[in-house]
Amino acid sequence: MDTTPMIDIKDLSVTFNRGRKPVKAVNGVSLRVRPGEVVALLGESGSGKSVTMRSLLRLHPAGTTVDGSMTVDGRDVMKLSKKELGNLRGPIVSMIFQEPRLALDPVYTLGRQIEEAIMRHAKVSRAEAAARAFALFEKVRIPSPERRLRNYPHEMSGGMLQRSMIAMALACNPKVLLADEPTTALDATVQIQILLLIRELQKEYGLSVIFVTHDIGVAAEVADRIAIMYAGRIVEEGMVSDIIERPKHPYTKGLLGARVELAHGRDRLITIPGAPPDLADMPPGCAFAPRCPQASDPCRSRVPDLVRQAGDGQVACLQYS
Ligand SMILES: Nc1ncnc2c1ncn2[C@@H]1O[C@H](COP(=O)(O)OP(=O)(O)O)[C@@H](O)[C@H]1O
Ligand SMILES: [Mg+2]
């Protein structure tokens, strides 16, 4: 088996310098994705998931400090020229977002936009691009593809629009799909359909996927492995079955507990009291300590390292180091 990772993020830190105090949104994240593997990046809002994804395509605003290294399909992302970066986005890495409406142009039909995406990277005629767009719409199971390709984004439902985005993401035959909460804005039944579609296409094309979500149930549904992020760091990582059946980090246990509570119709906020820390003013020790039911004094002064556990997983908690 090929063990060279498709994505290899090493010690990534991202700091935004625009405000009054620097904001360290990502703080020493390492993450590997093997070819054909689906990794869920899980965490509450503001934990640095999207910033991590955008780093892989170097999509940060000017003045952002990025440290560490990232390779995608053997390419050193930090060293790519503007032109090489253009050849990374699309043919190697595609990204889909929570809000497809923001990623699409309201003044062009969906067919036109997919054709343009195809023609940007492949030397094909408009007619050929149109035929491929049709095939892609069939692939993502949009009913009446010919008619739908002539629609503008506002004429589509949320679910159909997300299918269009997936078609667009596949337009250049990427090796990597970065999916940033692509089902969060959809209602539950549509969400499941989109998850199944992504999983099916992932298998068919052998895609490597990072699937960002705040929902541990969605992560378990879609991924092979789960990496849990808190306040810019990965606090636990492992195979889905290990994370779900034997969570180690108190935060992971909290996320699982929150789902159970939700199933019983109670407020999920009861389970993990408090809020994530201010990234511009981090506590000195473990970032989760202020909310952790098991925190002791050393937790409040020492940042725990991510330590490999028996088996495959890693945990950053003093209880396990
Ligand atoms: N361009 C930016 N400038 C300043 N702060 C940012 C920027 N982008 C993201 N952040 C901050 O970084 C933190 C992590 O954001 P993000 O990665 O979007 O979280 P999420 O896990 O919800 O995707 C948040 O506190 C957010 O406000
Ligand atoms: Mg996000």
Q: pLDDT (tens digit, 9 = 90+) per residue, 107-157?
A: 999 999 999 999 998 999 999 999 999 999 999 999 999 999 999 999 999
Ligand nearest to the CA of residue 97, numbered in listed order: 2
Q: pLDDT (tens digit, 9 = 90+) per residue, 277-308?
A: 999 999 999 999 999 999 999 999 999 999 99
Q: Which atom of ligand 1 is nearest to the CA of 53?
A: 17
pLDDT at 156: 95
Q: pLDDT (tens digit, 9 = 90+) per residue, 168-178?
A: 999 999 999 99
Residue spans of the domains in the chain: they are 7-92+176-320, 100-173
Residues above pLDDT 90, as percent of the chain:
86
Q: pLDDT (tens digit, 9 = 90+) per residue, 18-74?
A: 888 999 999 999 999 999 999 999 999 999 999 999 999 999 999 999 999 999 999
CA 141 to each of CA 129, 164, 188: distance values in angstroms, whole numbers, following the listed order: 18, 10, 18
**Residue 273: exposure state from Cβ atoms within 10 A (0-12, 13-18, ≥19):** exposed
The 10 Å Cβ neighbour count of residue 321 is 12
Q: Which atom of ligand 1 is nearest to the CA of 45?
A: 22
| Per-residue pLDDT band at 268 (split at 50, 70, 90) | very low
Q: Structurally, what CATH architecture does the domain formed by 7-92+176-320 represent?
A: 3-Layer(aba) Sandwich (3.40)
The residue nearest atom 12 of ligand 1, judged by CA position, is: 25
The angle formed by the CA atoms of residues 145, 148 and 149, to the nearest 5 degrees, is 85
pLDDT at 274: 87
The residue nearest atom 6 of ligand 1, judged by CA position, is: 16
pLDDT of residue 2 exceeding 90, the answer is: no
Contact criterion met (CB below 8 Å) for 43 and 49? yes
Ligand nearest to the CA of residue 95, numbered in listed order: 2
Q: Which of 12, 14, 17, 23 to mutate to test the pocket of ligand 1 (most atoms within 8 A of CB)?
A: 23
In three-state form (DSSP H/G/I as H, E/B as E, the rest C), the secondary structure along the chain is CCCCCCEEEEEEEEEECCCCCCEEEEEEEEEEECCCCEEEEECCCCCCHHHHHHHHCCCCCCCCEEEEEEEECCEEHHHCCHHHHHHHECCCEEEECCCHHHHCCCCCCHHHHHHHHHHHHCCCCHHHHHHHHHHHHHHCCCCCHHHHHCCCHHHCCHHHHHHHHHHHHHCCCCCEEEEECCCCCCCHHHHHHHHHHHHHHHHHHCCEEEEEECCHHHHHHHCCEEEEEECCEEEEEEEHHHHHHCCCCHHHHHHHHHHHHHHCCCCHHHCCCCCCCCCCCCCCCCCCHHHCCCCCHHHHCCCCCCEECCCCCEECCHHHC
Q: For all residues of the chain together, what is the average pLDDT? A: 93
Instruction: End-to-end CA distance of the chain: give it in Å, rounded.
Output: 31
C-alpha of residue 276 to centroid of ligand 2, in Å:
15
The 10 Å Cβ neighbour count of residue 30 is 16
Query: Residues lining ligand 1, judged by CB closer than 6 Å?
Result: 16, 18, 23, 25, 43, 45-51, 61, 279
Ligand nearest to the CA of residue 44, numbered in listed order: 1
